[in-house]
Amino acid sequence: MADNNTVVTDFVLVGFQLRPELQLGLFFVFLILYLTTIGGNLGMILLIQSDPHLQTPMYFFLSHLSFLDICYSSVIIPQLLKTLGTEKTVISFECCAAQFFFFTLYATTECFLLAVMAYDRYVAVCNPLLYAAAMTPKTRLGLVAGAYSGAMANSVIRTGCMFSLSFCKSNHVDFFFCDVPPLLKLACNETKPRELVMFLLAFFVITTSTSMILISYLFIIRAILRIRTAGGKAKTFSTCASHMTAVALFFGTIIFIYLKGNMGSSPWEDKIVSVFYTMVIPMLNPMVYSLRNKEVKGALKKALSRMKVSQVV
């Protein structure tokens, strides 16, 4: 514990304070989630790269989504596993700032990328004849680069706002990673101006992303309703269903944490919600896209068949 005259140089991540036998069980649960996340998303990337039928803009963006899920899970979970497995809960000021920066970078990029993917579906459904001309390799790279650039700017400003504060009330972070609300509680100088800047940035990122997604899907729904055959409607809708599911899962939890003003009714409530979007959603995304997408399922079956043949030979 730091006194009021001591500037904090490292932090103690409180994480999940449970009995030792329960912490060990939690360690294995999170380890399984992490390994499943890495395996599922890496498998999705390799599948997209290896199958010629998946060399389309939609799967180009999906491979970047899988990459981001691997990255931002890796920023959080290894540190948590270290805390649970070795009880080494201390994280240096610099490592805390780095974790905050990279988590913000990857999470923000995912927000923008989901919006880009919605725009991609809009062009594919509403302007199918112009799709190939509109989504050229150069355009795809530009859209992804724009997502990363916007996220980089957001991450630099938010990290600067947060870690230009002095922390002297305590060095115990009642959370399992370095995030805005628990860190603000430890600041010993005025936080309101910085809170406002960070809130406005979060509001801008989320509202611009969700607005693009909603507008894209309004046009998509209108286009689907104009299709005369039930089979045609179902086929068109199926191409968007996976993305809609991923959007609902990701933005639902992000909005709960960052745009509701303060943390939840209890620290445990916020920890559980944060576990969902830092661990569960990155694990679910490959399953969502593989189980609800005929092309991915087809490519997966072919890959498994090739593996069986190679084993026989």
169: exposed, middle or buried (Cβ count in 10 Å: 0-12, 13-18, 19+): middle
The residue with tokens 């060399």 is 55
Tokens of 179: 């995030």
Instruction: Tell me how far apart the alpha carbons of residues 65 and 27 are, in angstroms, rounded to a whole number.
Output: 26
Could you tell me the CA-to-CA distances from 217 to 144, 220, 281 in Å, in that order?
20, 5, 22
Tens-of-pLDDT digits for all 313 residues of the chain? Answer: 455 555 678 898 887 776 667 788 888 999 999 999 999 999 989 988 888 888 889 889 999 999 999 998 999 999 988 888 777 788 999 999 999 999 999 999 999 999 999 999 999 888 888 898 999 999 999 999 999 999 999 999 999 999 998 888 788 888 889 988 889 888 888 888 998 999 899 889 989 999 999 999 899 888 888 877 777 677 667 667 777 878 887 887 777 766 555 444 566 777 888 888 888 888 888 887 766 666 676 766 776 666 655 555 4
Whether 84 and 30 have beta carbons less than 8 Å apart is answered as yes
Q: What are phi and psi of 89, to 5 degrees?
A: -95, -5
Whether 31 and 191 have beta carbons less than 8 Å apart is answered as no
Q: Which long-range contacts (CB under 8 A, 24 or more apart) does 265-270 make?
A: 267/174, 267/175, 267/182, 270/175, 270/181
Do strands 10-13 and 90-92 pair parallel, antiparallel, or not at all (unpaired)?
antiparallel
Full set of structural domains in the chain with CATH: 10-312 (1.20.1070.10)
**Does this model's pTM top 0.85?**
yes
Could you tell me the CA-to-CA distances from 110 to 56, 106, 113, 232 in Å, in that order?
19, 6, 5, 30
Instruction: Tell me how far apart the alpha carbons of residues 271 and 15 are, in angstroms, rounded to a whole number.
Output: 8
Q: Nearest to residue 280, comparing CAs of 77, 114, 80, 104?
A: 77
| Neighbour count for residue 274 (Cβ, 10 Å) | 21
Could you tell me the CA-to-CA distances from 284 to 68, 125, 249 in Å, in that order?
13, 25, 9
**Which residues are CB-contacts of 105 (< 8 A; sequence separation ≥ 6)?**
151, 152, 154, 155
Instruction: Tell me how far apart the alpha carbons of residues 283 and 39 are, in angstroms, rounded to a whole number.
Output: 9
